[in-house]
């Protein structure tokens, strides 16, 4: 579980995150949603330590990440897997070498053990035969799966994904969502996903945190989204066709009751 308390982030005099309180639960796909520019990426960067909060706390299963020493933070980072925007693979390394990279850096495993572990992770994302290929030779969806394999290779307790479906078609996005949801359950991770993809919200939104102009506007499940009367949330989700349809069916059913 990751708990955020009164998290504020300013850049000079511009307040980008304003006293955010939120809980992200273990074994669940926690989504952070909000329109472009609302503060999702800045929030995630504060959680993982790529940015320093101006004030407030971030607790990893009770451990306050903000007040940790540099050494403790480095140690904590090994419990985190990250997939940031763009697959961010190393183009000059093969797929297998990409997935092995965190093991080369941080594990005590010998070469054969590292290869085996990387191959197991590639199998988990359904890429058994891609190990010898280079990132430039595979599709965007496959690159994303390689990035997921690399993110889970050290068995993280916490998984962070910033817009994992950006640039992917809806079908491939669904594959990625199901994969992220599947590994979250399988390894009982606390997974946080930034998204503005409403298909993802409906598909895997177990705990959704809605950020509006740097403030937490709303939190709930995908079912709560449908019944919500929050105007800002409705404006965001009604912008999507899928949501309009779901909501219309719901309202029709209510009228018929």
Ligand X SMILES: Nc1ncnc2c1ncn2[C@@H]1O[C@H](COP(=O)(O)OP(=O)(O)O)[C@@H](O)[C@H]1O
Which of 29, 38, 41, 46 contacts Mg ion by CB under 5 A? Answer: 41
Count of chain residues binding Mg ion (CB under 5 A): 2
- Taking CB under 6 A as the rule, does residue 38 contact ligand X? yes
Distance, in Å, from the CA atom of 208 to the CA atom of 228, rounded to the nearest integer, reads 12
User: H helices within 20-169, ranges in order?
Assistant: 40-48, 70-77, 95-106, 111-124, 140-152
- Taking CB under 6 A as the rule, does residue 34 contact ligand X? yes
- Taking CB under 6 A as the rule, does residue 121 contact ligand X? no
Distance, in Å, from the CA atom of 117 to the CA atom of 122, rounded to the nearest integer, reads 9
Instruction: Read off φ and ψ for residue 102, nearest 5 degrees.
Output: -60, -30
| Distance of closest approach, residue 188 Cβ to ligand X, in angstroms | 27
- Taking CB under 6 A as the rule, does residue 36 contact ligand X? yes
- Angstrom CA distances, 240 to 224, 237, 247, stand at 17, 6, 11
**Helix (H), strand (E) at residue 64:** strand 63-64
Q: Name the segment binding ligand X (CB under 6 A); options: 39-47, 95-103, 107-115, 197-205.
A: 39-47
Count of chain residues binding ligand X (CB under 6 A): 11
- Taking CB under 6 A as the rule, does residue 11 contact ligand X? yes
Chain residues binding Mg ion by CB under 5 A are: 40-41
Chain residues binding ligand X by CB under 6 A are: 11, 14, 16, 34, 36-42
């Amino acid at each position: 579980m990751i708990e955020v308390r009164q998290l504020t982030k300013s850049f000079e005099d511009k307040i980008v995150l304003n006293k955010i309180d939120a809980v992200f639960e273990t074994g669940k796909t926690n989504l952070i949603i909000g329109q472009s520019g609302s503060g999702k990426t800045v929030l995630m960067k504060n959680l993982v330590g790529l940015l320093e909060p101006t004030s407030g706390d971030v607790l990893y299963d009770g451990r306050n990440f903000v007040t940790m020493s540099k050494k403790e933070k480095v140690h904590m980072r090994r419990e985190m897997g990250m997939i940031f925007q763009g697959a961010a693979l190393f183009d000059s390394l093969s797929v297998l070498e990409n997935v092995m990279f965190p093991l080369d850096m941080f594990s005590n495993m010998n070469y054969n053990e590292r290869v085996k572990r990387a191959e197991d992770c590639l199998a988990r994302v359904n890429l058994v035969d891609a190990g010898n290929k280079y990132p430039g030779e595979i599709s965007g969806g496959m690159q994303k799966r390689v990035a997921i394999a690399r993110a889970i290779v050290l068995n993280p307790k916490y998984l962070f994904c910033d817009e994992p479906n950006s640039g992917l078609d809806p079908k491939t996005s669904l594959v990625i969502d199901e994969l992220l949801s599947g590994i979250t359950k399988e390894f009982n991770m606390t997974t946080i996903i930034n998204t503005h993809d409403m298909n993802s919200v409906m598909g895997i939104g177990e705990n959704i945190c809605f950020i509006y102009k740097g403030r937490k506007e709303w939190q709930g499940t995908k079912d709560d989204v449908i019944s919500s009367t929050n105007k800002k949330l409705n404006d965001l989700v009604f912008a999507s066709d899928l949501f309009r349809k779901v909501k219309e069916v719901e309202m029709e059913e209510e009228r018929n009751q």
